[in-house]
Structure 1
Amino acid sequence: MRFLALGDSYTIGEGVDEADRWPVRLAGLLRERGIAIDEPEIIARTGWTTDELSAAIDEANPRGPYALVTLLIGVNNQYRGRDAEEYRAQFTDLLRRAVGFAGGDARRVIVLSIPDWGVTPFAEGRDRARIAAEIDVYNAINRDEAARAGARYVDVTAQTRSAGADPAFVVGDGLHPSALSYAEWARLALPEAEQALAATQKH
């Protein structure tokens, strides 16, 4: 079964080995459970906003249907101070495209929440409370739109906040998650992925 992962630095795994990216870890966990899924096709790059991801999808032109599609995007919209309602419109369009890549079955799509980078050492001296509040607004939007579309949702934000500034959970840049964090995200996403693929097989 084919797997498409859409996103930004968090999906491409800035600062970690390819094997430690969370979508790669997730595929490994699924295979351990006897689910025959390919290595993920990843369309993601550090720094991408919603509109940049959309343009990259146009360029990559992935061919569905995929058994599983994941979408994690928005941190760079927040980082650049972009408007939340613009995010809603662009995220909704990306989610619609993700469902299309999943053969029109929203149950095969998993949206992940945006991590809170405000807890990291990189954010030292910045307004951490404001960062958290803005990320909460963005996550309320992506959670709402996922529910509206009938897609699945996984909250990884709580994990990033509880890990806080623990250096084990970030790479050397003090910003991006470490392999340890991504392994946890894969574990959090596993139940939804299993259900998504079970739904596919029943379809």
Structure 2
Amino acid sequence: MKKVFYFIGFLLLLLNLSCENINETVTQTEDELPIIDTPIIEIPEDTNNTPENFKLLSLGDSYTIGQSVCETCRFPEQLKDSLLQNFEEGTTFSLQVIARTGWTTTNLIDAIASENIPPDFDLVTLLIGVNNQYQRKDFSLYETEFPAIVSTAIKAVNNDKNNLIVISIPDYAFTPFGGGNTNISEEIDLYNEFAKDYCNRNEITFLNITDITREGFINPNLVASDNLHPSALAYTKFVERLLPLSLEKLK
């Protein structure tokens, strides 16, 4: 009889131990889930070291295309080369020039329309108007068409007018061709004053380079071999003023 009691007691003991183990397992699973340490990754402040690809657009006439100087001597090409020297290795600059000798504002408007310019340029320069003056076009034409060209140029830089630079018209009176004709200078001033005032009122960058070309008699090296247009040296002086503005806008 004692053996029976011992056996029953042994069974009860086993049963009790099994319940305790089950409770411990459940308790650990539901209330004491293991904690996984997640590593903390520190992100540097500046991780963008990828070289950039900039697109430049220059609109104008003979002063932009570089009449009577080599292709790399014209100011848009000199500007592109100067910009390259101020960015890290691997950065590229593509340049599109829409300009031709003799173009008036009307000609430039027509040319831009045929080009279907995309709105993804990073910087645009505009220099136009001398042929309106030279061809004796009515000044009212410039008053109407210059703002239209500016609007189109702004669209080319994704509607960011800060990335447009309007350049003043050179004064060809200070060349052998112009012969110091003061009427030319007065009329060039009229065009430039209108452009400058329009840009100031609309918070658009306007760069004066006319004074450089008015040193043509003092320094003949500023005049190209055709005795009319700016030389490579003159364009270098243009770029000396253009470069800081361009860097500010691109950086």
TM-score, normalising length from structure 2? 0.75
Ranges of 4+ aligned residues in structure 1 off by more than 6 Å: none
Deviation of 1:145 (Å): 1.5
Gaps of 5+ in 2: 1-53
Listed as ranges, the matches of 1:23-38 within 5 Å are 23-34=76-87, 36-38=91-93
Q: Contact 1:74–1:114 (CA<8 Å) still a contact in 2?
A: yes
TM-score, normalising length from structure 1? 0.92
> Among residues 114, 120, 133, which one is paired with 1:78 in the alignment?
133
Deviation of 1:148 (Å): 2.4
> Among residues 128, 148, 168, which one is paired with 2:181 in the alignment?
128
Listed as ranges, the matches of 1:99-110 within 5 Å are 99-110=154-165
1:179 aligns with 2:241: no
Indicate the residue corresponding to 1:153 in structure 2: 206
Deviation of 1:39 (Å): 3.3
Q: Contact 1:121–1:165 (CA<8 Å) still a contact in 2?
A: no
RMSD of the alignment, in Å? 1.4
> Among residues 167, 180, 195, which one is paired with 1:142 in the alignment?
195
Question: Residue 187 of structure 1: SS of its match in structure 2?
Answer: helix
What number of residue pairs does the alignment pair up? 196
Question: Residue 214 of structure 2: SS of its match in structure 1?
Answer: helix
1:92 aligns with 2:117: no
Q: Which has the higher helix share?
A: 1
Indicate the residue corresponding to 1:45 in structure 2: 100
Deviation of 1:191 (Å): 1.3
Q: Matched residues in 2 for 1:11 and 1:159: separation?
A: 16
Indicate the residue corresponding to 1:201 in structure 2: none
Indicate the residue corresponding to 1:69 in structure 2: 124
Q: Matched residues in 1 for 2:147 and 2:177: separation?
A: 30
Q: Matched residues in 2 for 1:81 and 1:37: separation?
A: 41
Q: Matched residues in 2 for 1:168 and 1:39: separation?
A: 29
Deviation of 1:192 (Å): 1.2
Deviation of 1:150 (Å): 2.1
Question: Residue 39 of structure 1: SS of its match in structure 2?
Answer: strand
Identity within the alignment, % = 39
Deviation of 1:96 (Å): 0.4
Q: Deviations over 1:173-202 (max 9, x none)?
A: 10011111111111111111112213xxxx
Indicate the residue corresponding to 1:4 in structure 2: 57
Residue type at the aligned position of 1:34:
F
Q: Contact 1:2–1:40 (CA<8 Å) still a contact in 2?
A: yes
Larger Rg: 2
Indicate the residue corresponding to 2:15 in structure 1: none
Gaps of 5+ in 1: 199-203
Q: Contact 1:120–1:165 (CA<8 Å) still a contact in 2?
A: no
Question: Residue 163 of structure 1: SS of its match in structure 2?
Answer: coil
Q: Deviations over 1:80-108 (max 9, x none)?
A: 11222220210000000000101100000
Q: Contact 2:215–2:222 (CA<8 Å) still a contact in 1?
A: no
